[in-house]
Amino acid sequence: MQKDFCAPGGYIDSQGVDLAPARATIEPIQRVLAAFRALPGALVIHTREGHRPQLADLPVNKQWRSEQVCPGIGNAGPLGRILVRGEPGWEIIPELAPTPDEIIIDKPGKGAFYATDLDHVLRLQGITHLVFAGLTTDVCVHTTVRDANDRGLETLILRDCTAATETRHRDAIFSITEMQGGMFGATATSEQFLAALALSNTLPE
């Protein structure tokens, strides 16, 4: 949930995309975050997509494609250089800011496993089930869901906690995720998830 993806003047906004669907995810994500932060043993991980200031980790094809729809990654925008580490637009929005003890994964690609230590962290912490929220459903979220699934991890996408630049893309990802009995995982609303979480906390061990 970086400013470049859901704040005025950011990367997505510069493409002329309506930010309302992305902004609508903030409140339900806040509720889910609060529940996780109060849950013993739960691990909250934030991700940020961005590149080194020298753009040494930015593939030529990714840069070229970004330049077809906006000023392009690495170029100056209202929130600083687009998707560059350390710039204002690269930061996570204040409404969902990580606490000092929460993990942040900085990634150069769409998926959170590529060129990061996410897999290492999850395995050391014994994490087997992942709950996904954030932007965008059809790019960063689903890329990471697929990678997690290939690693044998269980995945759940919270429908109202994620959005795409086009609603039809978001809905297609929900369908693809659940096809054939859950090819890549499952989906639920945050309300359904929080209700199940509350119920599980009242069940005898």
User: Which residues make Cβ contacts (< 8 Å) with residue 167, sequence separation at least 6?
Assistant: 21
Q: Which 8-state DSSP code applies to residue 137? A: I
- Give residue 81's pLDDT: 98
pLDDT value for 205? 54
Phi/psi at 197 (nearest 5 deg)?
-65, -45
Answer whether residue 204 shows pLDDT above 70: no
CATH code at position 14: 3.40.50.850
Q: Are strands 129-135 and 154-163 parallel, antiparallel or unpaired?
A: parallel
Question: In whole angstroms, how far apart are CA 78 and each of 72, 74, 82?
Answer: 13, 12, 9
Q: What is the pLDDT averaged over residues 187-195?
A: 98
Structurally, the chain folds into a number of domains equal to 1
Question: pLDDT at position 70, please?
Answer: 87
pLDDT above 70 coverage of the chain, percent: 98
What is the residue range of 81's domain? 3-202
106: part of which helix (H) or strand (E)? strand 103-107
Q: pLDDT value at position 113?
A: 99
pLDDT in tens, 65-76: 999 998 899 999
Tell me the pLDDT tens digit for each residue of 125-168: 999 999 999 999 999 999 999 999 999 999 999 999 999 999 99
Identify which of 164, 120, 156 has the alpha carbon closest to the alpha carbon of residue 140. 164
Q: How confident is the model at residue 13 (pLDDT cuts 50, 70, 90)?
A: very high
Model confidence at 201, pLDDT cuts 50, 70, 90, reads confident
